[in-house]
Structure 1
């Protein structure tokens, strides 16, 4: 920034301190891009940079009358934008930590529920007859087709279908009974 631009800036600051909104608007036009670039470099987020810049201008406009040295405007504006960027980063870190804690808690709850369900299923399967367990195991654990199960058990496919149907019904009934407990 050359001497003439610095002088122009100082005049705009003095006028803005005296309440001239046009001068503040000119300062915003002159400094908006620079402050946004700083915020973007610090936050590494385009939308956050706009939000931070807007917050910075709000602070600048409310406190410009407190700036004792108009030639220090650029450093002052950069410091405000830098502080607002750090505030944004801290908020994001808190949000991430809260999200991580929530996700871990939710994951633990889901794992616990899955483990409980698996335990109930295992208990229910253990209480079924050998025929029922065999047909269910071949179909759902080993992923055999109806015709393959028929060949393995040396029974007709219709019998396999019937046994599967009844075994699923008995299993469902056992699981529903454990829900009521």
Structure 2
């Protein structure tokens, strides 16, 4: 007997017919990617976990509204995008100074090189200094591997806007991270 891997489309159809186990399989396939995406957007584990649960609850409740099962990933990440932005709207905006104190970390590199942890922290700090739109575009492209068209669908904007956000963000990241590449020398 030969088993073929169960495709997302098959699981979606089964879940639409009320098969909770099929939806649970979808959750287990996608929860790590959605959680990591949300963690990079919202900035802390507790909020990312809460929002991730909300995303899958909304996905389950609205699965019948998904027109094309082949677009499940973009549809799911659009829900995650919307839920993260709902959380941002509920929060009171921080002042720029508070935000810098919370996330700001100087990228100071000695001549001995940089450790992987220091590099990760420097990248995280540089990402935090991007606008929310730029950061989200970078996360979708670099960390999640979405195509421009999928990103445009998730973000609800034209492909040209996605490309512009990425171009600007990569320029900022290059400037912020160049001291690391040059060993702290400019």
Coarse TM-score class (shorter-chain normalised): 0.3 to 0.5
Q: What TM-score do you get using the length of structure 2 for normalisation?
A: 0.46
Q: What TM-score do you get using the length of structure 1 for normalisation?
A: 0.48
Query: Larger radius of gyration, structure 1 or 2?
Result: 1
Work out which structure has the larger RCO, using CA pairs closer than 8 Å and 6 or more positions apart in sequence.
Answer: 2
